[in-house]
Structures are given as structure tokens and as C-alpha cells.
Amino acid sequence: MKVKQSLIYLALIITGAFTVLAFAPANHGLCLIIALLGLLAYIEYSIATHELHSNLLLGAYCFGFGLFVAQLYWFFSSIYYVIGAPLIVAILAIFICNGYLALYVLLSVWLYKRLRTPFSEFNYIILFPSVWVLGEWLRGWIFTGFSWCDIAYAQVDNSLMQGYFPVIGSYGISWLTMSIVGFIFMIIQNRHNLLAGNRQKINLAQRAAIIYFALIAIAGYFLHGKQYTEKYGKPVKIAMIQGNIAQSQKWSSKEILNTLGIYSSLIAKAKADIVLLPETAFVVYSNFLPQHYLADIVHFAESNGAELVIGMPKVIDKKGNYVNAAVVVTDPKEKYYAKSHLVPYGEYTPFAGAFSWFYSLIQLPMVGFSSGGENQPPLVIANQKVAFNICYENGFGSELIEAAKRSTLMINISDMVWYGTTIAKDLHLQLSQARAMENQRYFIQETNTGLTAIIDPFGKVIARLPEFKRMIMTDSVNGMIGTTPYQKYGNYPVIMLCGLIILLGFIINKFYFSRIIVTKDIKNEESINN
């Protein structure tokens, strides 16, 4: 029996891992549906056969662990191969991080079992998506959050879902996707009646579910391409410099001059209105740069009629606190955007005393960044209002809304060299595609090694550089103005809906089981009287 249960857990890990094929670069959406149907089938079978509660939850945890490990295996690659930490540290890190993330899948399944009602259509199509999205939302918020691997990002190229992004955002897309999975599960369970057209055995809830599914598809068709924003001003030409600087070279004091020379020559060649360098392209403060270097590259940019934006650390006060910034060096005041949502254990050190042993083993550079604060205004560059975000900030849609509403253009600067040749760069691009659609702005993604790309307001990647090539990509984009429904309301409608549905599930359960108890008591009294 233990062997059989162990095999089930292994199968669930593999099923969870199967979801990776639905995300970039594979993009096989059917794999996600199959995997989630497998999870739902396991849950329903376990409940129907009165499987031990602990076994059900452990199975859900195994599914979640497989889901996250398959997508986030690059944790290991970046810690072991790029940073050079000991093997045991890299292995522990991937187990701890993904083990923690899998707890949110366990939580969703626990809530589903706890709130599951006698009405299967409600359970599959309404309740299951709500508890799942609640888990995603909590995962994107607790301990500063981590929103990679949300179901929605597998839908950025789905034409029937793209139109929903500017209306309900990524959590709404996750909800709809899970609801469709529940609908398919209902069809499979009732396939003999539904597919045979046995109308007498098709209940009202099933009829309503079929109409509901049809409405989702029809609305998705008509929402696709619907425009909430309009062009602003003249097109702006942007030059994206992909330096392709290796990690070993970038942070080496012996190679700094060589790196600066590479960027200097690329800046001189870039002819555009805005020239972009990636996150921490310069790893030293501006006052530590060689004498006249900054003035020289500013001169190169201005000679070409460009404004130059460089990713670099910037000291912000007399105490020496510094931020991870995108600095407009051609501006006399050197206006800048400072990264707000920092990477825990990568850019700042929560519980530094408790984890001092960890930092001594991995020796990360510059982990003492300060946060730039929320709702920083867009920077006016080349007659455009630019909303910047840095690195994995593009994964937090609600945090970008305020700046995006006031902007005409969105730019992310990142350094993906940490993740080598893994799929991290592809997943990162999907986050940017979602943000482009939610805000209906052109979204520029500027990186060191790839993927450097331009995304249009409808989520389409219209230009991109090949990975690991030292190149400049120059293209023109339009500024956009206007407000999408998602920008107006954010995640509140979807999260409130999930909360109300969970409350409804609780009320139905309480009422239904209370009625059963009362009915049993009445029958017992009648039998005693007789």
C-alpha cells in the first residue's frame, strides 16, 4: 500500500512538472489543461474514496512541488553555475524555495475540500478557480511575493484570452482558465449524457455551464483587439543595447574598464531618441567611473540626438544608502527611477543575522540595496512619459498601475545573465507581455544577454534580438494614452469575487449540513415515537 501511494505521489510530481510545457518557450497550452484535469481528478477521486485527509494534501503538495521545480529549476543554475555556491547550498535552496511555493497549492486544495459543496458544477467551475486564484494572490503578496508561474502567463498568446487582460488582469485570466478546466472536467464526468444528447438527464446547472462557456468564448472573440488607449504624439525611436557581458566579466574589478569600453563604443553607434543600457550595466557609482568617461558617453549620445538611460547603482543620501536605478545621464539633474520591489536575499537581506552563513557561502555582490519607494512618477524622456520597472518588478501588475496610467510608454531593464541559458528569460518575457496588455502600452524590455524585445499594446512581440549576441536593436514605437478597465480597478474585483465565492461555499456547506443534521434528528424522533 505504501508503495502504491508513493507511486501516486511521484505521478503527481510529474503531472505538476508537465505544466512547464504550457509556458514559454514550449507554449503547448493543452499540457496545462491536461495537468490541471489530472489534479482535479485526483482530488475528486480521493474525496469519493474517503482517502486520508493527509494523503490528499500531500498529493496536492507533490503536484505543486513538481509545477514549481519544473519552471524554476534555474534557481539551481544561477546559484551553482553563475554565482558559484557549493552544490549542497544550491540543492538546499531549490528544495526550500520550491517547497515553500508548493504550500500555496496545498492551501488551495485544502480550502477546496473544506468548502466543497453538494453541487459539483459549482465546485468545478466556480469554487475551484476561486481557491486557486486566492492561492496565487497570496503567493504574490506574502514575504514580498513571487508571482512567476501564475496560470495566466501561459495564456499571453491565446487569442481568446488576450482581450481579457486589459479588463480583468492576470488574476482574472487565471480564474477564467481554471474555470474552463473545471468545465471540461464536468463534461468528462457527464460525457455519456452530454455527448449523447440525452436532454432528460442534463440538469439545469449543466445547461447553464454550457451557456457560460460559450459566453466566455464569444466575449473573448469580441474583446480581442479592443482598444482602450490611443496614440500620443510622434513615434519615438529607441535603441536597445544588448551588451552580452558575461557574469564573470561584469563583476570583476579587472574587467571593468573593458566593459566600459564596450558600452562606450556601442553608445557612440546608437542613433535614436532614447538609448537604453540594461540593469546594472555599470556596477560602480558614477563618481567612481574613470575621469571624463561619463561626460564622453553623454557627448556621444547627445551628438546623435539621443537621451541616454543607464542601469546602475546610485547613492541617494549622505549615509551612503544606494538604489538599483535607471538613470537618465543626459539630464543635468540625472533624474532616475529606483527599483521599489527588491529581490529578498538577492538585493536586500531580511533576517540578515539568521542567514549570515548563507551569504558567506554564496558571496552575492551588492545585496544592500534600498527600496526606491512606491508610485514613483514617470520620467519625461524624449517627449514621452516613461514608466520604468527593473528586473522581476514586471511580475507585479498591480504595483505598476499607477505609474503606467500616467505614462505613455513602459520600459523594463533587466540583467538575465544570472539565469544562463535556462527558460527564465522566456518566462520573464511572458510577464512583460501580460503587463503590456493590461496597460495597453508599448512595453520595451532591455536586457544584457536576452531577451531584448519590443512588445506592442496587444502583447505581441514585434521585435527581438537573438540571445547572447552583442548587438543594438533600433526601432520606433508610439506613446499611448488612455486608461484600461484593469488600470481603473486593479485586482480588487477578481479578489473580491474569489472572497465572496469562498464565503458562499462556506454558507452553503453550513446550511446544507445543518439541514442534514436536523432531518436526521427528526427521523430519529419519529422512529422513537413509533
Q: Which residues are known catalytic residues?
A: 279, 339, 391
Long-range pairs for 4-9: beta carbons < 8 A, 24 or more residues apart? 5/55, 8/42, 8/59, 9/58, 9/59, 9/62
Among 163, 127, 168, 170, CA closest to 145: 170
User: What value, to the nearest 5°, has the Cα angle with vertex 244 and ends 242 and 246?
Assistant: 150
Q: Which set of grid coordinates corresponds to residue 207?
A: 445547461
Beta bridge partners of 6: none
Q: How far apart are CA 26 and CA 382, in angstroms?
A: 37
Q: How far apart are CA 159 and CA 173, in angstroms?
A: 12
Residues 438 and 473: beta-carbon distance below 8 Å: no
Cα R_g (the chain), whole angstroms? 26
Residue type, 492: Y
For residue 292, the tally of other CB atoms under 10 A from its CB is 9
Residues 406 and 379: beta-carbon distance below 8 Å: no
* SS3 label, residue 237: strand
What single-letter DSSP state applies at residue 344?
A: B
Among 271, 273, 336, CA closest to 307: 273
Q: How far apart are CA 385 and CA 480, in angstroms?
A: 10
